[in-house]
Structure 1
Amino acid sequence: MLKTELRADLRQRRAAIRDDERSGLNRRLIRHISASSLWQEARHVGLYLAFNREADITALLEQSDDKNLYLPAISGKLMQFQPVTSQMQMETLSYGLQQPVFIPGASQPDIDLYLMPLLGFDGNGNRLGMGGGYYDRYFAEHHAGIRAGIAYACQQVQQLPTDPWDVTLQHIFTEQGHHEF
């Protein structure tokens, strides 16, 4: 199956989760993340704000007094991570994604753990994103940090098609638990 066909199928799977069920799945997912040694040992964590029915881990922003948190911002084909602060300026992009205002030339932090959204994943650590390639390009330049995907179990497929530039996951968190690749 082509990536475009898979994306459509996986969007449907994710959208089929009822809202009342989704909130319970998100709570279980957050419990697995916060109980993991990855989360407990990380001091600098890249998160994301859920968009388009992605697994919502926003509650982790409230559970992290001992951590420095960062959110991604995109502009054109570029992505950067910015520290979460009370002064952080947010914007909503034309298609509804909320993000920090992109700051051209901002230096990038040394992040220990990246928690990344995705549309699909397989048992080999392959990740299928929304198709913009932002994380792939970011990790081509910033190699440090553990890459963990965040998804619902229904987003797992047997095998994803891959391209040479696709960045793989080292871990996946779903409402069913944590898996290391």
Structure 2
Amino acid sequence: MEKRELRQTVIGELKAQDSDLKKKKDKQLLQELVATKAYQDSQVIATYLAFDFEYDTSLLIEQAKRDGKLIVVPKTYPKGRMIFGLYDEKELAPTRFGLREPVSDEAFDKNQIDLIHVPGVVFNGQGFRVGYGAGYYDRYLSDYRGTTISTIYDFQMADFKAGTHDIAVKEVLVK
């Protein structure tokens, strides 16, 4: 199955999953994530503001804030450009994709981000991912030297061949 078909199939599965089971898995994934050395050692964590059918990143954001960590979230621009800006619930605006992102155009220094929590639709056993098709994360991660981690559901794992531009996530937690 090619990436486009794989993406559509798994997005359908994400949207169809049982909400109570999803909440349970989200909490288990959070426990696993905060137990990792990558999380424990990080001061600045980049994460995304998720669609309601994705892993609930608000759990991670709230936990990280309780743990005294700084949170940054993505802001996207035309031609696949993306930055991370400081997370401030009061300073977010809706995007054309239906997500929220920082109002400010001030980019957080990539070299100061310890851990990036990377979204994705489908992952293979080597940590390569199929995202939503715009390439924002692959471009951003191409020269990122910190740690990357993703939290996904078991049905998001599949075999596919990574493209030459694809960047693997270093650790994938699966429930």
TM-score normalised by structure 1 residue count: 0.87
Question: Post-superposition shift, 1:107?
Answer: 4.9
Classify the secondary structure of the residue corresponding to 1:118.
Answer: coil
In the alignment, which residue of structure 2 is the partner of 1:78?
A: 81
In the alignment, which residue of structure 2 is the partner of 1:178?
A: none
- From the superposition, tell whether residues 57 and 174 of structure 1 become closer, same or farther in structure 2 (CA, over 3 Å): farther
The residue type paired with residue 58 of structure 2 is: T
- Give me the whole-angstrom Cα distance separating, in 2, the residues matched to 1:38 and 1:162: 25
C-alpha offsets along residues 140-166 of structure 1, whole Å, 9 cap, x if unaligned? 2x3211111221111001x22221111
- From the superposition, tell whether residues 15 and 38 of structure 1 become closer, same or farther in structure 2 (CA, over 3 Å): same
Gaps of 5+ in 1: 176-181
Q: Which aligned runs of 4 or more in structure 1 are off by greater than 6 angstroms?
A: none
Q: Is the 8 A contact 1:128 1:160 kept in 2?
A: no
Q: Is the 8 A contact 1:113 1:145 kept in 2?
A: yes
- Give me the whole-angstrom Cα distance separating, in 2, the residues matched to 1:62 and 1:106: 22
Count of residues paired in the alignment: 171
TM-score normalised by structure 2 residue count: 0.90
Q: Is the 8 A contact 1:47 1:69 kept in 2?
A: yes
Identity across matched positions, percent = 29
- Give me the whole-angstrom Cα distance separating, in 2, the residues matched to 1:174 and 1:80: 27
In the alignment, which residue of structure 1 is the partner of 2:151?
A: 150
Give RMSD over aligned pairs: 1.7
In the alignment, which residue of structure 2 is the partner of 1:44?
A: 44
Q: Is the 8 A contact 2:138 2:165 kept in 1?
A: yes
In the alignment, which residue of structure 2 is the partner of 1:18?
A: 18
In the alignment, which residue of structure 2 is the partner of 1:179?
A: none
